[in-house]
Amino acid sequence: MPVDLRYAPEVEELVEKTRRFIGDQVLPVENEFAGDVTAAGGDELRRELNAKAKAEGIFAPHAPVEFGGLGLNMSDRTPVFAAAGYSTFGPVALHIGAPDEGNVHMLAHIASDEQKHKYLAPLAAGDLRSAFAMTEPSPGAGSDPNALNTMATKVDGGWKINGQKRFITGADGAGFFIIMARTAGAAGDRGGATMFLAPADTRGISVDRHIVTTDRSMIGGHCEVSFTDVFVPDEDILGEVDQGYRYAQVRLGPARMTHVMRWFGSAQRCHDVAVDYVAQREGFGGKLGDLGMIQQMVADNEIDLAASMALLVKACHELDQGNHASNETSIAKTFAAEAYTRIADRSIQMCGGMGVSDDLPLARLQRELRPFRIYDGPSEVHRWAIARRAIGRATKALAAKANG
């Protein structure tokens, strides 16, 4: 079967327009505020950059066309998201950052027509933001979703939700929440979760505090949120009751890959900064770039970037074919998250003292990249899942051979 890795001309044009926009309109703002999106203006900045992106025709490339987006599939999103990710403010500017991008994707696939009108339309347009509330304080759900503690109890006309959530990205200032709550079983039981849609001003929803993390580029922070007798009417159940985890898979695999896309841009920027530096910096009788040890680090960065992109392209192809691609997305996410931190570290090392200074963006980019080894599933959990699948396949093959 022939394999064509070329992108359509219209996608290539979109990538080039995105690169120019990021370089001209976004990077200067990011650099001025040292990558701190709150200091740069938060939602006010977002609205300003969104308007400029709309004027350039590059806004919401992932959103359905009927809701004002460009309707790109996963494969075609890859180079566009990577170009936007060259600046840590780029995803905000194009409205492709977490968690809104993943929520747009999920709502487009799962929401009812009424829910699309009420929630997806304003989200896709950038009129408001959203939050996906699943992770909880210990002993609740985190890397182990079956530990879900937040409870939804059936009442007349709907459900009442009670529980606490933690590390809810974008919660402060979100227009609505997608809440994962248990509707069957008890904490530790497999399944029994349901997703609910709730406007942020619903009585009983409280954004309690920001959790300070190393990254500074996500609007609305990473927050602790409480839900106290939050009433959600039946019509705002997202998907089916007790099927929340199954529906969440529509979001989680693609969202992992869009993280890989966006942070690929930041890793590429680290590499570019370092290569430019060693190509000019004099030392030891020549340019630093002429030294073998430096060349090895440059080569290793190139290899990590190329391998990350290859795994990403493969996983996105599988997703576009309608496959779950659980293994492919876990492999791509785990490799890329670790490769990007290696790239940032080598880039800092190549630039010496400048690398850890504020004169170059490398140290702060490293702080942005490091959490990716935890966000969307720690590397260890993905490795466990990858190994479990491999052993499962081997066990089935041995059983079939024994019975054959």
SS3 state at 322: coil
User: Looking at the structure, do residues 191 and 285 belong to the same domain, yes or no?
Assistant: no
Does one domain contain both 57 and 155? no
Q: Are residues 258 and 393 part of one domain?
A: yes
Residue-level pLDDT at 248: 86
Q: Let me know: does 106 contact 119? Beta carbons within 8 Å.
A: no
For residue 339, give the CATH number of its domain. 1.20.140.10
Is residue 288's pLDDT more than 60? yes
pLDDT of residue 2: 67
Residues 382 and 261 in one domain: yes
pLDDT of residue 138: 94
Cis peptide before 139 (omega within 30 of 0): yes
* Residues 297 and 225 both lie in one domain: no
pTM equals 0.96
Q: At what angle do helices 244-280 and 292-320 cross, to 10 degrees?
A: 150
Domain with 14, as residue range(s), is 9-97
Q: What is the mean pLDDT of residues 52-69?
A: 98
Has residue 114 been placed in a domain?
Answer: no
Residue ending a domain, among 242, 264, 291, is 242
pLDDT at residue 3, as a whole number: 74
Give me the residue label for tokens 């190994």: 387
Sorted by sequence, the CB contacts under 8 Å of residue 61 that are 6+ apart come out as 14, 69, 70, 72, 77, 80, 81, 94, 96
Is residue 104, in this structure, part of any structural domain at all? Answer: no
How confident is residue 1, by pLDDT bands cut at 50, 70 and 90?
A: low
**How far is residue 57's CA from residue 54's CA, in Å, rounded to a whole number?**
5
| Mean pLDDT, residues 145-173 | 97
CB atoms within 10 A of CB 177: 28
- Confidence at 359, pLDDT banded by 50, 70, 90: very high
In a domain, 236, yes or no: yes
Whether 203 and 136 share a structural domain: yes
CATH classification at residue 87: 1.10.540.10
Q: Are residues 225 and 149 in the same domain?
A: yes
Find how far residue 207's CA is from the centre of its chain.
Answer: 21
Check whether residue 223 and residue 320 sit in a common domain.
Answer: no
Pairing type for strands 176-182 and 130-133 reads parallel
Q: Is the pLDDT of residue 333 over 70?
A: yes
* 242 CB burial (10 A radius; 0-12, 13-18, 19+): middle
- Over residues 233-246, the pLDDT tens digits come to 999 999 999 999 99
Element containing residue 398 per DSSP (H, E): helix 379-403
Between CA 191 and CA 313 the distance in angstroms is 31
| Best CA proximity match to 180, nearest among 113, 117, 243, 235 | 243
Mean pLDDT score of the chain: 96
Q: Write the pLDDT tens digit of every residue in 118-143.
A: 999 999 999 999 999 999 999 999 88
- CATH at 154: 2.40.110.10
Last residue of a domain, one of 47, 76, 97: 97
User: pLDDT tens digits for 28-37?
Assistant: 999 999 999 9
Let me know: does 371 contact 214? Beta carbons within 8 Å: yes
